[in-house]
Amino acid sequence: MISWLLLVGGLVVLYFGAQALIAGGVGLALRLGLTPLIIGLTVIAYGTSSPELVVSLRASLSGNGAISIGNIVGSNICNIALILGLCALVRPVSASRQVIRREIPIMIGVSVVALVFLIDGRLARWEGALLLAGAILYTVTTVRSARAEPGPDADFADALPPTNHRGLWASVGLTALGLALLIGGSEAFVRGAVTLAAGWGISQTVIGLTVVAVGTSMPELATSLVAAIKGESDVAIGNVVGSNIFNVIGILGVAALVMPIDAPDISWVDLGLMLVIAAALLPLARSGGRVNRWEGAALLATYIGYTIWLIQGQA
């Protein structure tokens, strides 16, 4: 019972922490003169990945590397198969030319890198450094590309939190509050997950791939579903793809750089599915530039089947 309270309570705190961090970060970014498009591609995309960051970092520091890596691999599978699948069922999701030509291929590329680095069940510090360098390069090129093509600003502006009238110190306070909630929530969430895994006799890797991955993906789910309902499908798919890229090169990079991660239970099936799901999105998006309802149903069915396979493997 205590483990469930820690897990659910930590998840709630993580969710509100991410929302506060995003709202405060957007307010600060607007006051610094950044355009809504750049904010959408950086603050929003990275902010929704903040639970994965703090949970993976906390798990790594506490010696629970299996949860750390399982969280990222599971989150990337969940973001596309579960979240984008649900969004497409609500309303077919369209992908912009930039997402199809640039972001999705980059996501596939970093998934290949993750598979190569993690196939031995370990992520060394030098590999983390390379991933983090890639995250910095990606962010810089994304900002430059957004500045060169400011057209979609209005779409992203509609999806931003209403922060225009928020004062500077209120934005700073929200950002600090969000960080504090994320740190506290991650502590409770990881403890609950570890205790739950031990009590059920389930490996930490499976807990990371399922419960932890879905829990830390709640900000992406909320953001993408709201965007899909409002018809802002470019924001919905852009948030998922951007978060998947950052999960690998940013979060795994930071976590491994702080402390090398061991996760011997991570299998080629988990890593392979992450890559296959990422690669499948390219032809789906190119089929008329959208992910249709039946394609969304197929993605969702894939996620359900994968989850059942994981649980049965522990029986």
Residue 31 has pLDDT above 50, yes or no: yes
**Mapping DSSP to helix (H, G, I), strand (E, B) and coil, where does residue 33 land?**
coil
Cα distances (Å, whole numbers) of residue 21 to 107, 173, 182, 240, 258: 24, 9, 9, 18, 23
Better pLDDT: 8 or 156: 8
- With a CB cutoff of 8 Å and minimum separation 6, the contacts of 78 are 213, 214, 217, 303
Tell me what pLDDT residue 149 has.
59
Local confidence band at 158 (pLDDT 50, 70, 90 cut-offs): low
- 125, 260 Cβ separation under 8 angstroms: yes
Residue 242: C-alpha distances to residues 20, 44, 177, 185, 236 (Å): 20, 9, 24, 23, 10
Tell me whether strands 290-291 and 261-262 are parallel, antiparallel or unpaired. Answer: unpaired
The model's pLDDT over 211-238, given as tens digits with 9 standing for 90+, comes to 888 887 877 777 777 777 777 766 678 7
**Most distant CA pair in the chain, distance:** 54
Its pTM stands at: 0.81
Give the model confidence (pLDDT) of 273-296 as tens digits.
999 999 998 888 777 778 889 999
pLDDT at 147: 66
Q: What is the mean pLDDT of residues 112-141?
A: 92
Residue 40's identity, in one-letter code, is G
**How large a percentage of the chain has pLDDT more than 70?**
87
More confident residue, 110 or 100: 110
The Cβ of residue 198 has, within 10 Å, a number of other Cβ atoms equal to 12
Q: Please state, in angstroms and rounded to a whole number, the distance separating the CA atoms of residues 232 and 236.
A: 7
Give the contacts of 151 (CB within 8 A, at least 6 positions apart).
none
Domains of the chain, first to last: 2-314 (1.20.1420.30)
pLDDT grade for 152, boundaries at 50, 70 and 90: very low
- The band of 315, judged by pLDDT with boundaries at 50, 70 and 90, is low
C-alpha 221/C-alpha 227 separation (Å) is: 10
Range from 2-6, 26-30, 167-171, 283-287 carrying the lowest mean pLDDT = 26-30
| Cβ–Cβ under 8 Å, residues 77 and 277 | yes
Structure tokens at 153: 């600003």
Dihedral sign for Cα 277, 283, 289, 293, please: negative
